[in-house]
Amino acid sequence: MKKLAVVAFGGNALLEAGQKGTIEEQEENAYQTSETLIKLLKRNYNIVLTHGNGPQVGNILLANQGGNQIHGVPEMPLDICVAYSQGFIGYVIEQQLRNVLLKQDMDRDILTIVTQVLVNKDDPAFENPTKPIGPYYSKEEAKKFIKETGAKFKEDKARGGWRKVVASPKPLVISNKKSIERIAREGHIVIAVGGGGIPAYYVEPNKLQGIDAVIDKDLASALLAAQINADKLFILTDVPKVCLNFNTPQEKSIDRMSIAEANRYLKEGHFAEGSMAPKIRASINFVENSGKDTIITKSTHLGIDDGGTRVVMV
């Protein structure tokens, strides 16, 4: 029987820092990232792909606001922008992954499932926005946007810039998880929980409604992986391994980390919020709920036996 893996792409797997975000750039990035998946397919894995949308959903919001200001087109709320991003990113990944499979003479159906995720409207995250979206700005540009729009910005010292931050509530229930597991175990590739999923809550019994937030895609991916009984969770980022004292002279990479060690490093402040910290928490959640391992690594290291940082129970 084939093993089942959930592979979480970061939004930067499609749109790298410093790029403009043209479709040509995103298609090329998607193609290169898709090439790394072949290693898992050849190692007898069935795959569910999830992806971030931080750069893309921020750009969708900017385009949304521009359309309103210039043409009077009604602005759409953040949950709708997340849905937009799920559709277009899913399309780009589907197409470029298909191109890679054709080149390898491999035949798999690839399906994108637009995924709602239930959250609690009273989640304290709504009082403390932490999730970065959109492009990086200078301090002066960020101050200008804060004054004009009331939006909240935070500095990313590791990458040098300021980004808009929004609420990131905890994912509770992922819709269509049974279908996602069934389709994946049949050998098809499923793209789901895009951007962490479309955040929704029950405004009253039996009535769902979207809410203005972005769910962390790593936490949603960990929840999905546990609920579909995945054998492994791969969280892809822009560094080969998790590091202590990141981007300092004392930087030290980690090959293997127990959940007790991971919790200790979190408390010691080694991992930045909106960056590596959610990936560590997601890893802990999956390992605790499944007893299986999580691998955090760069996409080019995917499928290498000793690649990345392995998060384990003990």
**Backbone torsions φ then ψ of 247, nearest 5 degrees:** 65, 30
Average pLDDT on 42-70 reads 84
Measured CA distances, 118 to 98, 199, 200, 279 (Å): 31, 6, 5, 20
Residue of 11, 90, 195, 307 marked active site: 11
The answer as to whether 163 is a domain residue is no
Looking at the structure of the chain, the number of domains it has is 1
Query: What pLDDT is recorded for position 275?
Result: 80
pLDDT digits (tens, 9 = 90+) for 231-259: 999 999 888 999 999 988 999 999 999 99
Q: What is the CATH number of the domain that holds 283?
A: 3.40.1160.10
Query: What pLDDT is recorded for position 303?
Result: 67
Give every CB contact of residue 48 below 8 A, 6+ residues apart in sequence: 4, 5, 6, 7, 180, 184, 189, 190, 191, 192, 224, 225, 228, 230
Residue of 10, 53, 131, 196 marked active site: 131
Told to judge if 279 belongs to the known catalytic residues of this protein, a careful annotator would answer yes
Told to judge if 217 belongs to the known catalytic residues of this protein, a careful annotator would answer yes
pLDDT digits (tens, 9 = 90+) for 278-302: 899 999 999 999 999 999 998 888 8
Kindly report the pTM of this predicted structure: 0.88
Of 86-90, 102-106, 127-131, 222-226, the one with minimum mean pLDDT is 127-131
The answer as to whether 188 is a domain residue is yes
Residue of 164, 217, 241, 292 marked active site: 217
Residue of 279, 285, 307, 308 marked active site: 279
pLDDT digits (tens, 9 = 90+) for 100-125: 999 999 999 999 999 999 999 999 99
The answer as to whether 114 is a domain residue is yes
Domain that holds residue 89: 3-119+168-312
Share of the chain above pLDDT 90, in %: 63
Query: What pLDDT is recorded for position 4?
Result: 97
Measured CA distances, 186 to 1, 6, 118, 178 (Å): 11, 15, 26, 12
The answer as to whether 248 is a domain residue is yes
The answer as to whether 264 is a domain residue is yes
Report the 10 Å Cβ neighbour count for 41: 20
Residue of 12, 59, 64, 285 marked active site: 12
CA angle (284 as vertex; 312, 40 as ends), nearest 5: 60
The answer as to whether 155 is a domain residue is no
The answer as to whether 138 is a domain residue is no
Give every CB contact of residue 17 below 8 A, 6+ residues apart in sequence: 136, 159
The answer as to whether 149 is a domain residue is no
Told to judge if 131 belongs to the known catalytic residues of this protein, a careful annotator would answer yes
